[in-house]
Structure 1
């Protein structure tokens, strides 16, 4: 049985709407990523300034980074020694 012209038009319209929905979702996700990255930058800037002004904060931050960071290249950014037994 052949599809009706109306059914073909509706299916084509649905495909167009699905494409528009996907583009809009992508835009929203990109905006959320940008906002999240901006928040991380601002938080990082604030924490770094606090560490520059206060030795106790600096030491606590360094200690927490030492426990948190696993990859040697990340640890190197903060002047931390490679993890013992690390192969990275």
Structure 2
């Protein structure tokens, strides 16, 4: 899992049947200090996240399993809206 910021929404009228009814959001992966880390990606929202929110993104099987959708092409899922992050400076 990784920390990310929601930076946009994806609207697709025509899509795989496994994605019908699922909200797709653009997320920017972040470092624990909230700096951009890597490329913007698309993730399926499972928690009602909105633009600008800090979220936790699950990947791979953990993301796919979140939706119980056997044939859905899901490899990234937003699984939490993050309230705060505290990093120890040890």
The TM-score normalised by the length of structure 1 is 0.19
User: Which structure has the larger Rg?
Assistant: 1
Higher RCO (CA-CA < 8 Å; seq separation 6+): 2
Q: Which has more helix, going by share of residues?
A: 1
Q: Which has more strand, going by share of residues?
A: 2
